[in-house]
Amino acid sequence: MLKHEVVSITPAIIDIACDLTNREQVYLKLCALLESGPGQWKSVDDKKVIEELLGVVAGIVTFNLNDDFDSLGLTPGVRIEAGSTGLNLLSALSKPQRENSAMVSAVGSDSSGNPDSLANYFAKDAAKVGIYQYSIPHEGCTPLVLVFSHKDEPDKVTAMHPGVAAQVESVPRSVEKSKIVHIDAYDLTREPAFTTLDRLIGSGRVPIALGLGNSSILQGKLREIILRYIATKKITYLMGNSEEFGLLLNSNPIRTLEQATSLNAGQLAPYVLVTLGKDGLIGFEKNKPVFQRPFLQKNPVNTSGAGDTAAGIFLSGILSGQEFPLTLKESAYYSSQIVGSLSSRFTSDREKLYKDEHADAGDQLDNE
């Protein structure tokens, strides 16, 4: 049976990114309709509401996702690509690791099980970076995310239409043979995916890499569930940002290595990654702390995907047996490259970027 390096159980999301720098009124209208702002994330369960938002972007009053999707792609400032936390993370693995990793995703289909156009778009885009997809067809709509920003607000506003994202009732047997299974906390918030993932995590048969998802969801029952996983040592790799770890540990956002150490963040899992945005990142290897300064991006475009990229590099380095401090340094470097890009992930080999930017750096990267 095939043994993957990393399997991410992740929604097959179509990411619609909009640079609204020259469309201020559209930006403000979208924020008003969502009742949201920079850096915030919101779930939009009603398909008609997400179509209304897309209609504002495309300038089509009666926007229909099936009929007008192609027109949206022709709108100035709009970039459409396969997205999701899992795909972003897998795209940051080394090329050999990517080619031996996979996603498990529910995709929208018709009543006969034929994938919808969004699912086909996702599969083709993901295949460009060599990542295999186990598709689970389910009648309904492939999930999509509308992400928008402008130059004065690099922190994006995000609206997600979940569609069939949670319709994961089982996973391929090969998942339990992988070296790492990646799960995002957001996917623990909906059934039937929660039952499937909870069973997998609880089995203890495979190392789990858990991303903390988003600070808006780390409360109540979900927080208790994650703390239970941690207490029973079901999580091998725990990854999130300063706010997410603060909420998990009933504290203020983690800002310093001293704070992280005093909160015993390194005892949460054998490997822990805390991203601090522009302040760098903190890692723990078997409770041994390491702080990594940031690589400052002179021309930041957006922060979407930076944490996913850092997490992907983090897992990649550990899988390859790389020295832990160097793994953190590369996590900081490559996430800074995403901040300077319109895309939320690497759409080609990250190795080429490393060689081009650091041809004389050898195995070390120097902070700017």
Mean pLDDT confidence for 65-75: 86
One-character DSSP codes across 298-319: SS----TTHHHHHHHHHHHHHH
SS3 of 223-284 = HHHHHHHHHCCCCCEEEEEHHHHHHHCCCCCCCCHHHHHHCCHHHCCCEEEEECHHHCEEEE
Backbone dihedral region of 204: left (phi > 0), alpha (psi from -120 to 50 degrees) or beta? left
Mean pLDDT confidence for 201-227: 95
Residue 354 — very low, low, confident or very high, per pLDDT cuts 50/70/90? low
CA distances in angstroms from 123 to 81, 116, 142, 358, listed in the order given: 10, 11, 11, 32
One-character DSSP codes across 70-89: HHHHTSTTEEEEEE-HHHHH
Mean pLDDT confidence for 84-103: 92
pLDDT of residue 71: 87
Mean pLDDT confidence for 132-141: 92
pLDDT of residue 355: 47
Residue 178 — very low, low, confident or very high, per pLDDT cuts 50/70/90? very high
pLDDT of residue 301: 62
pLDDT of residue 359: 35
Q: What percent of the chain has pLDDT over 70?
A: 89
Residue 90, pLDDT > 70, answer yes
Residue 6 — very low, low, confident or very high, per pLDDT cuts 50/70/90? very high
Measured CA to CA, the distance from residue 77 to residue 22 in angstroms comes to: 9
Q: Check if the beta carbon of residue 351 is closer than 8 Å to that of residue 95.
A: yes
Residue 353, pLDDT > 70, answer no
For the chain, the first-to-last Cα distance in angstroms comes to 45
User: Encoding tokens for residue 252?
Assistant: 């203020």
- Topology of domain 6-14+84-145+163-357, CATH: UDP-N-acetylmuramoyl-L-alanine:D-glutamate ligase (3.40.1190)
Q: Check if the beta carbon of residue 11 is closer than 8 Å to that of residue 90.
A: no
Residue 69 — very low, low, confident or very high, per pLDDT cuts 50/70/90? confident
Residue 302, pLDDT > 70, answer no
pLDDT of residue 93: 93
pTM: 0.85
Beta-strand runs (E) in the chain: 6-9, 13-19, 41-43, 78-83, 102-109, 132-139, 144-150, 153-161, 180-184, 208-211, 237-241, 271-275, 281-285, 288-292
HSE value, Cβ hemisphere, 13 Å, CA-based, for 44: 25
DSSP 115: B
Measured CA to CA, the distance from residue 362 to residue 7 in angstroms comes to: 30
Residue 364 — very low, low, confident or very high, per pLDDT cuts 50/70/90? very low
Residue 298 — very low, low, confident or very high, per pLDDT cuts 50/70/90? low
Other C-beta atoms lying within 10 Å of the C-beta of residue 346? 24
Mean pLDDT, rounded, of the chain: 88
Residue 211, pLDDT > 60, answer yes
pLDDT of residue 70: 84
Angle at 65 between CA 61 and CA 69, to 5 degrees: 95
Residue 320, pLDDT > 70, answer yes
pLDDT one-digit tens code per residue, 94-113: 989 999 999 999 999 988 98
Residue 245, pLDDT > 70, answer yes
Q: Where are the domains of the chain?
A: 6-14+84-145+163-357
pLDDT of residue 348: 66
